[in-house]
Structures are given as C-alpha cells and as structure tokens.
Amino acid sequence: MITIKDIYHLADLARIKLEETEAEHITTEIDSILGYVGQIQGSGGDMRPEVPALHNVMRDDVVTNEKGQYTEALLHNAPLREGDYLKVKKIL
C-alpha cells in the first residue's frame, strides 16, 4: 500500500511539485497501478539472471559536426542565456 507521504517523497526525488489536491488522487491511481504490476511477484521459479545476447556497441568518439555548427540553434532554445552560456541560478 503506497501512502500519500510516499508520493510526496517520490515527487521530491523526481523534482515535481505536487499540489495537495492532486496528491490524493494520484496516490489512489498509482496504488492501483502498482497493484496490477505487482503480479509479477507471483511469476514462475526457474529464472536466473543471464548474460544477455545483446551487448553495447560503441563507436569511436569522433567529431561529427563543424565547430559551432549547432551552437546558435541549441542556445536559441534556452530560456535564459548570457552570450554562449546557459544562465542558471547559483548552485552552491
């Protein structure tokens, strides 16, 4: 059973501010979804972790674009910028 306190904690971890009006029904909804997906606990016995057939494929870390090719297009999307920097509030 998930509680409203758990939901506030998860929202904190996920960096989402929850309004009180929303927290209550989201708790009910998530509880019912977790109840449904929790059925996997009852699944059969002979499962062992195995080395998957698929593996990571890495390419060489090479430059694929011209210097500055995307700078303006990327920074254009930033809500706040100063020159070619993103502007953020102080972190420490």
Partner 1 sequence: MIDITTLTIATAHTHLINKDFFARDLAEAYLAEIKKTNGDINAYLEIYDDVLAQADNADKIIASGTATLLTGIPIALKDNLLITGKHVTSASKILEGYVAPYDATVVDKLKKEHVVFLGRTNMDEFAMGGSTENSAFGVTKNPLDMTRVAGGSSGGSAAVVAMNGALGALGSDTGGSVREPATFCGVVGLKPTYGGVSRHGLMAMGSSLDVIGPITKTVTDAEILFNAIKGQDMFDSTTYPDGQYPQNTNKKLVIGVPYHILEQEGIDQSVRDNFTESIKKLEQLGYEIQDISLPNIGYSLAVYYILMPAEVSSNLARFDGIKYGLHVDGDNLLQDYLKTRAQGFGPEVRRRILIGTYVLSAGYHDAYYNKAILLRQKISDEFAHAFQKVDAIVTPTTPTPSFKIGEKAHDPLSMYLADIFTVPANIVGIPAISIPSGMVTYEGSTLPVGLQIMAPHAHESVLFEISKKFLGE
Site of interaction with partner 1 (CB under 8 A): 2, 6-7, 10-11, 13-19, 22, 26, 29-30, 32-34, 36-41, 43-44, 47-50, 52, 56-59, 64, 70, 73-74, 76-80, 86, 88-91
Give dist(CA 24, CA 8) in Å, integer: 10
Give dist(CA 7, CA 10) in Å, integer: 5
Least Å distance between CB 74 and partner 1?
5
Least Å distance between CB 5 and partner 1?
13
Give dist(CA 80, CA 88) in Å, integer: 7
